Chain A
């Protein structure tokens, strides 16, 4: 079936550096993409989203880039802080699926002082 996957399972960065987390998806019908942050033992926390009619969206310290040609999504975190340490998931949905979310495997981000 269609899948959403991440390139790197773990990412270690130094505090203050920028982080980039990547995600590939395979469903060409996907039209809505979201990045979530999940801390241990907690539910996913919304970070930022983007629709398929856009290729870039910026939030506070975060930017999501969407490349529909190669079905690739990335999350950029500027000036990474220790509080950013968590597992990050990309998720996609489409109107075809009734907007049920399909989650990627997750990337563990570790920020070292």
Chain B
């Protein structure tokens, strides 16, 4: 149990376009979902925390108008990178906290590789 999926697993897009990444909890309900970004050979950096039905909380330095997060249901959160540029190329990873459990238990998705040309 506690499987998290992401779609797509990789995407290549042109500069200026928007890209949507989905994060789904497949066999449990996720009260909270987290979005991380990881550059090559670096650690995961938390971008934002989203709770179902409310606005996401963004970390300092993360532009909320550029990285739109929607957590419309207990099993789905989406991250939209708007007007993507090459510097947005990164590995984006989501995690989900299981409803009913302590929110410090997070289950990670497999990640989405974004390449902006």
- By a beta-carbon cutoff of 8 Å, the part of chain A in contact with chain B is 32, 36, 41-46, 89, 93, 98-106
Looking at chain B's contact residues, the main secondary structure is strand
Contacts A43-B109, A99-B97 known; A89 to B102 CB distance under 8 Å? no
Q: How many chain B residues have a CB neighbour from A under 8 Å?
A: 25
Residues of A within 8 A of B44 (CB): 44, 89, 101, 103
Are B93 and A44 closer than 8 Å at their CB atoms? yes
Report Cα–Cα, A44/B96, bound state, in Å: 12
- By a beta-carbon cutoff of 8 Å, the part of chain B in contact with chain A is 4, 6, 34, 36, 42-46, 49, 57, 91, 93, 95, 97, 102-104, 106-111, 113
Q: Which of A42, A101, A105 makes the CB contact (< 8 A) with B46?
A: A101
Residues of A within 8 A of B111 (CB): 41-43
Are A41 and B113 closer than 8 Å at their CB atoms? yes
Looking at chain A's contact residues, the main secondary structure is loop
CB closest chain-B residue, reference A92: B104
Report Cα–Cα, A50/B102, bound state, in Å: 14
Residues of A within 8 A of B57 (CB): 98
